[in-house]
Amino acid sequence: MLRPRCIHDGQCLGHSAQGYITPCCHMDSHDRSRDYAYDIFYQEKFNINNNKDIKSITQSKEWIDFYTMLQERPEDAPPICKKICGNNKEARDIYG
């Protein structure tokens, strides 16, 4: 079971030192998650320097597709999403 905090709990967006916004801070903090996330969230067109506001990034087709996947096909979610937002006692103990 997956309960994405970025959808259900009003979790704040994350950001990288390189100028990219992510659905949560965990997406950027674990190297293993960057393989999947890099293709989506770290595209040059999503760099904050290339956008007039954050809304233009977070309401893009790629971001909407990501959120749709989390809700409709949680089995396809990146490992970091499953770890942090899955039915995982260890993750709940660590991250609340």
DSSP 8-state secondary structure symbol assigned to residue 91: H
Give the number of other CB atoms < 10 A from CB of residue 84: 25
Judged against a pLDDT cut of 70, whether residue 91 lies above it is answered with no
pTM above 0.85, yes or no: no
| Per-residue pLDDT, 42 | 92
Neighbouring-strand partners of residue 42: none
Return the structure tokens found at 41.
């969230």
Give tens-digit pLDDT for 29-57: 766 556 677 789 999 999 999 999 999 99
